Amino acid sequence: MVLTTKELKAEIRKMCEEKDAIILAHYYTIGDIQDIADFVGDSLALARKAAETDARVMVMCGVHFMAETCKLLSPDKIVLCPDLAAGCSLADSCKAEDLKKFKDEHPGYQVISYVNTTAAVKALTDVVVTSGNAKKVVDQLPKDAKLIFGPDYNLGNYINEVTGRKMLLWNGGCHVHERFSVSKILELKKQYPDAVVMAHLECKAPVLAVAEVKGSTATMLNYAQQSDKKQFIVATEAGILHEMQRTCPDKEFIPVPPEISESGLECSCNECNYMKLNTLEKVYNCLKTMSPQIKVDPEIAKEAVKPINRMLELS
């Protein structure tokens, strides 16, 4: 029997009650997932929620590294990932063995890793950061500290610029944010001259240069909620528009399209194909079967949780 969307949502919420489970969803997941979640947020907020929850089971609707982070912070809880194929191009751009080699070539350097990394990379890291707290964390490190920042080059470059640091930057990037271009933003600005341009810190420097608001998804959402402006041009994954529109129904949010779509055809927004692997059907099935569950090697977990806890302390 095929369940309707309404029936799926009702069954999911029913199973959450029966199994003492909560659903965590990133802003980039589809609207239906965000609607049934107990908590919707960016990477930092989701990490904090994972550390605080009393629930026995967590369903992480995001990408694989987010589910790993939940497991690292709550090793005794069951962490479910609706689709193990929900990876991350940014995490894939920094392999643990490559980072270890780079560390060995630069003795005396501390490693700052973006949260968009595997547990194995976090195990080689001194402190983890998100786009929302990277500047705050870096500012608290000694001024003479020798630092490696990875894997997101654009975020690291921005942090170097605003802090005056000279961190060594890993050359990694997000396939979504790399596709935004200044030309597309300027085209939209001509159509919507009064709109505020907002861009995620994973965007390239020229894109950030034309943005009036630069920050994490949470930063952009908060700005839109508090601003008296009515139109916003948004350069980040289009999933955030669901929460923006939900909380600001009287405002207009215009997604910036990619320079070139993966199909080679023009499209109106820029989406993460990994985030979109999370569906109501998969959430329903993972709760019903209690699988797939996230497991992290105990030796890796022991080291990987340390930089995450340090981040939570510093932010």
The pLDDT value recorded for residue 267 is: 47
Binding site annotation covers 176?
A: no
The pLDDT value recorded for residue 258 is: 86
Taken as a whole, the chain contains a residue count of 315
What digits encode the pLDDT tens for the residues 43-99? Answer: 878 988 988 999 999 999 999 999 999 999 999 999 999 999 998 888 899 999 999
Binding site annotation covers 116?
A: yes
Q: Are residues 199 and 218 in the same domain?
A: yes
Write a three-state SS string for 70-102: HHHHCCCCEEECCCCCCCCHHHHCCCHHHHHHH
Q: Tell me, what amino acid is at 179?
A: R
Q: Are residues 12 and 75 in the same domain?
A: yes
Torsion of CA 278, 279, 280, 282, to 10 degrees: -70
DSSP 8-state assignment for residue 44: H
Q: Are strands 196-200 and 213-215 parallel, antiparallel or unpaired?
A: parallel
- Compute the average pLDDT of residues 237-244: 94
Binding site annotation covers 114?
A: yes
What digits encode the pLDDT tens for the residues 172-227? Answer: 988 889 899 899 999 999 999 999 999 999 999 999 999 999 999 999 999 999 99
Write out the residue range of the structural domain in which residue 238 sits: 182-258
Is 171 exposed, middle or buried, given 0-12, 13-18 or 19+ CB atoms closer than 10 A?
exposed
Phi and psi angles of residue 206, each rounded to the nearest 5 degrees, phi first: -60, -35
Is position 211 within any domain?
A: yes
Average pLDDT of the chain to the nearest whole number: 93
DSSP notation for 17-29 = HHHTEEEEEETTS
Closest CA to 43 of 90, 92, 96, 110: 90
Q: Are residues 170 and 128 in the same domain?
A: yes
Q: Are residues 290 and 246 in the same domain?
A: no
Q: Are residues 157 and 109 in the same domain?
A: yes
The pLDDT value recorded for residue 47 is: 86
Is position 264 within any domain?
A: no
Q: How confident is the model at residue 1 (pLDDT cuts 50, 70, 90)?
A: low
Binding site annotation covers 74?
A: no
What digits encode the pLDDT tens for the residues 98-144? Answer: 999 999 999 999 999 999 999 999 999 999 999 999 999 999 999 99
185's CB contacts (< 8 A; 6+ apart) are 197, 199, 207, 210, 211, 233, 235, 256
Q: What is the CATH number of the domain that holds 239?
A: 3.40.50.10800
Report field, pTM of the whole predicted structure over 0.95 = no
Binding site annotation covers 4?
A: no
Asked which of 174, 208, 228 is the last residue of a domain, the reply is 174
Binding site annotation covers 113?
A: no
